[in-house]
Amino acid sequence: MRSSVKKSIFAVLLIIVVIIIGSMIFRKDPPPNIVFIIIDTLRADHSHMGDDVAGETPALKKLFKNNSAYFGTSYSNAPWTLPSISSMITSKFPSEIGVVKRNSKIDEKFITLAEVLKENGYRTHGVITHIFLKKKYGLGQGFDTYLEKIDSSDNNLFSVTSPIVTAEAIKIIDENKEKPFFMFLHYFDPHYRYVDHENRSSYKGPFLPDENEAKKAEIIKENLFSQNDLEYFKECYRSEIRFTDIHIKRVIEKLKEQGLYENTLIVIVSDHGEEFGERGTLGHGQSLFDEQTKIPFILKLPGKFEPSVNIRPSFSNIDISPTILDVAGINIPASFRGTSILDEKGSETIFMEVNEKKYDTLYNQCAIVHKGWKLIKDFENNKFELYDLNGDKPEKSNKFNSNKKMFFSMFKILKRYIRMIEDNKHISQKTNLTAEEKKKLETLGYIGN
């Protein structure tokens, strides 16, 4: 063999060896799949992820305890669905995107989590069950498929949808085994109206399924429910959570069955809590107290990690999308306000707001939580409430008059957020609701405008 041919063969072999070694050094793990689950209306104190109580989510608890996850409590930036979920997917406060009213819409100019993931090669799929998550509200931005599974029939006031969401999720997993996917699932069943799925209750009263609907609405509107009614609501609510837990467990089992679980990031949160008479009312959207704003947060990273309850105390909705992108190794857009949970240097302050009517009352408030204290500004009644969240009576004993030093220190921070609300008042994209959608919202407790 001529020496020049030998040299050529040697050169080719050398290039091949360099390519192989290079690919071994620079080989990246495949990007993780991402499953983002919202359980509507799940209060933080009903997930029991970090304690020894079996609670209403035994299946989730077992799965995550054995497979390593972060879990803890977090805050919602708003006490009702539309602004809360909008702030999760844009990593901006409701005021900043102008999503504060029942007909507010996310403008296309705002970047959403699904858009970023799609740009980075993910197939993006959403399954939703509430009018407020419809495409017409701008929440479908960036999704390849977005299934609106809303039960709009007049004769089904209870809208049981968890089995439908799970069935669609299982199809998505089956169809996306080979490529990285982002799956956004919205489970709605713990939201009012509550269903007693297990028929355990012996309740006799005005809220049984066959009783008069107008009467039920009137009792709730006027806060005339009895202790007996409240116990029934709570019993049904817990039943709804257990029911949802069973269906989410099926999705996680499907991931395991397909060999995808290990390389999947799973995030489970709620959009807001629920009040059961703690302040004399029922439901959500009418205060910024913990019953309505404290939510569970569960994060199962790809691979194996030690379970931890040590999540940053100042974690809220706006931090969810940055966390997902951080874990996926994707740059966080400059427009995102939040910080990944893996970054210990997040903001020390949580901000939350509400500016919407319920029945005939406008609830226009904002609040901050900062180092164990909460300061609420009520714009309608022009008053402040200051609470020591670690005190004997959290959120029951207003320290506004008795701790002026703390008030002024908190107000200095809150003022910046009040200015932000003022600065963004001009942002307001609207969507039109049909008569049928308005009627459906009324059955879910969104009454008055």
Residues that bind Zn ion (CB under 5 A): 40, 81, 271
Residue nearest to Zn ion (CB): 81
What's the min distance (Å) between Cβ of 271 and Zn ion?
4
Q: Using the minimum distance from each CB to Zn ion, give the nearer residue, 133 or 251.
A: 133
Q: What's the min distance (Å) between Cβ of 233 and Zn ion?
A: 16
Q: Which residues does residue 38 pair with via DSSP β-bridges, in sequence order? A: 186, 269
- Residue 203 token pair: 């309740």
Alpha-helical regions (H) of 176-319: 213-221, 227-257, 290-293
CB of 76 to Zn ion, least distance (A): 9
Nearer to Zn ion, 113 or 325 (CB): 113
Report the nearest approach of Zn ion to the CB of residue 40 (Å): 4
| 81/95 with CB nearer Zn ion | 81
> What does the alpha-carbon distance between residue 174 and residue 190 come to, in Å, rounded to a whole number?
27
The CB-of-137 to Zn ion minimum distance in angstroms stands at 13
Beta-carbon-side half-sphere exposure of residue 140 (alpha carbons within 13 Å): 15
Min separation Cβ 356 and Zn ion, Å? 13
Nearest-approach distance from CB 132 to Zn ion, in angstroms: 7
Report the residue number, 33 or 47, with the smaller CB distance to Zn ion. 47
For residue 269, what is the enclosing H or E element?
strand 264-270
Handedness of CA 191, 86, 166, 252 (dihedral sign): negative
| Cβ–Cβ < 8 Å for 101, 427 | no
- The SS3 assignment for 67 reads helix
Closest CA to 376 of 401, 407, 345: 407
Q: How far is Cα 377 from Cα 372, in angstroms, rounded to an integer? A: 17
d(Cα 52, Cα 44) in Å, to the nearest integer?
Answer: 15
Nearest to Zn ion of 115, 271 (CB atom)? 271
3-class state of residue 35 by DSSP: strand
Both structure tokens of 143? 């999704």
* 81 vs 162, beta carbon nearer Zn ion: 81
With respect to Zn ion, which residue has the nearer C-beta, 34 or 38? 38
Helices (H) and strands (E) in the chain, counts: 12, 15
